Amino acid sequence: MGYTAEDELLIKEKWDDLLFSCTKICKNDEDWNFIKRAFFLAKEAHAGVRRRSGEPYLLHPIAVAKIAVDEIGLGVKSVVASLLHDVVEDTEYTVEDMERIFGQKIASMVDGLTKMSGVFNADTSEQAEYFRKVLLTLSDDVRVILIKIADRLHNMRTLGAMPLNKQIKITGETIYLFAPLAHRLGLYAIKTELEDLCMKYRFPQQYAEIKQKLADTEANRQEYIDKFCAPIKDALDRDNFNYEIAGRVKSIYSIWSKMQRKQIPFEEIYDLFAIRIVFKSVPFPSEKTQCWQIYSTITDIYTPKPDRLRDWISMPKANGYEALHSTVMGPDGVWVEVQIRTQRMEDIAERGFAAHWKYKQAEGDEDEFDKWLKQIRAALNGPSENAVEFLDNFKLSLYTSEIVVFTPKGESRKMPFGSTALDFAYDIHSKIGNNAIGAKINHELKPITTQIQSGDQIEIITSDNAKPKAEWLDIATTGKAKQAIKHFLKRERQNNIERGMEMLENKMQQLNIQLNGHVLRKIMPAYESTNKEELYTKIGAGIVSLDDLEKILKENAGRKLLKFWTFFIPQKKNPIDDAETNEQQENNQSADTENEKQFEVADCCHPIPGDKVVGYRDPQTHKIVVHKATCDELNRLAAQHGKNIVKEEIKWSREKAMSYLVTAELRGIDRKGILMDLARIISGDFNINIREINIKSHAGIFEGNLSLYVKDVESLNAVMDKMRQVKGIESIKRTL
């Protein structure tokens, strides 16, 4: 079935809009014709096809092309590839057809954008394989990644038409990989929108609440911003700067993330905005000098916070970001962050790679972005590994703050924040990492596990007899280090399996127990192993010790190792629900009860009744594991195995009356009797059992952990709200 006259009008309107955007990139008739040929082929290939929302499919590639031009700043070839990006995947056209019609470059870009099809290994993830293929195009053309991000942005903008399980899969992929990738490529505006859209679909109620609260407080916030900026404007006008100054409000997602991380209400988020000054630089003095001049002007007016100065002009971030950030004390005792940057820096900050390329000074120059691409290409061309592992390692190179450290000869190297001396050793060379035994940090001998700090000078001490250990995977934080360690360990894996089998058999003989499948099934979960090969490998590599094997076998005798709780999947409502009789309601209630199933609760996040939950079908055990909707591990699983997300909404059974163990973190000002006050509230007012309380006090400040048995989230929140009212309690937040 073809498109209607109304559809054709809509397509023409969007096509004309794209052509208008292309006026800034088309230099001649050849460019225009190239884009038009791509459009007409895409129109013919997708003829009559509609998206799930009902609109003509052709509107999607047009929208992706427009994002590529307007929001990323890409050129003619990228527009052509954007228009054609789904043609090979969804129609009869092949990559060879693309090469014949549009040339080799467009064909390779379209191929990179085409989802993998066919047979996949049973032990890997289709999504991870697809991501790997897309990322491999970094070795050839980074524009493919940028178009893929534009494609994802448009899909996220139209996600409302998708069913719940597809929304969870797509938002999981987006928050796990695409938002960090946009961040790493310098696309801050797109990264922020992707995060906000993820929240809008996963947590719509919280999204709407924060959006409303931002709107309600806008007038007061703007009044303060005007008051703060007034003396700065006077000073910059006096110094003849050509500038723009404005307040930039935090994104809804970043506000929500901070509320979740610190478990505080919206009203306690004090850094809701930052002041940004963007100015047009003059040829002399240097941009750097002009930025520092504005900084000096501001700190003449407001006192700076010494530990909050960030100089990304002298040492730009790896994605090319340059700016000077300072936090100053504004009127009414409010700390305010001020960002200072030139128009060139602003373009790079908002448009990322495309602007970075535009401003490159010379063909031979290698900047921080080029160095990062070189590292990624080296990783992509490294030893082959499972696609899921590859994706996890790549992920480590994305969302990280950076530090600058120095070699013994004074060469500066950028490392992710949180890196250890071991990461630094592998950053220099895998052989140095494999043989590392220690480090001299600022000429002082330190263990290889030591976390390094910005400004450290590091010398790695090696030994020919040293070799990577399995526990190094817990020490290493960078993808490069983890990949090198895993590669070394894999070479020894077979030896470890044989050694582990022998060690376990010997231990079982000592205990006079016959080793069989039944015994192995008891042992594997205790050692966090999903199969016997993994168990043997861990034993052979020394990751686990068999010293406590006898105790484990005794503890597990006569009881199940896995925990199951009862959930139900709500039945879809009948269209005549509003006129439903009591009898029908009773039938629906019994349908819910019949639909109750036993699902396994995830150990990573320990959901309790009242938590919003999502089901994930484990591909190996085929059991449904229930995660909190906010769980980071769920996002990883959704990104890598999205087809295993359970389609239906899962809710806690209303029939069960049980107690669930939760832990909370306490912090406050110590005083006599505070523990008695807390115990009185928990046990007396709420009749809640305390399993454990562990408090340490030092110099008048106490902090510790509290374990309680609660019925559900509602009762937990109620007791925590009451505890917050106790004199001396500064913060209390749930940790598990």
Residues marked as catalytic: 89-90
Of 67, 74, 66, 80, nearest to 34 (Cα)? 80
Distance CA 392, CA 350 (A): 27
Sequence-separated (6 or more) residues with CB below 8 Å from residue 353: 72, 142, 146, 185, 186, 187, 319, 320, 369
Distance CA 287, CA 347 (A): 14
Of 454, 457, 447, 449, nearest to 475 (Cα)? 449
**From the CB of residue 393, how many other CB atoms can be counted at a distance below 10 Å?**
19
Place of tokens 């993830």: 125
**From the CB of residue 101, how many other CB atoms can be counted at a distance below 10 Å?**
14
Of 281, 127, 273, nearest to 292 (Cα)? 281
* Tokens coding 184: 């790493």
Helix/strand/coil for 382: coil
Sequence-separated (6 or more) residues with CB below 8 Å from residue 552: 522, 523, 526
**From the CB of residue 537, how many other CB atoms can be counted at a distance below 10 Å?**
25
Pairing status of strand 273-279 against strand 335-342: parallel
Sequence-separated (6 or more) residues with CB below 8 Å from residue 172: 634, 635, 636, 637, 638, 639, 642, 645
How many CA atoms lie less than 13 Å away from 49 in the CB half-sphere? Answer: 16
Q: At what angle do helices 204-216 and 188-202 cross, to 10 degrees?
A: 120
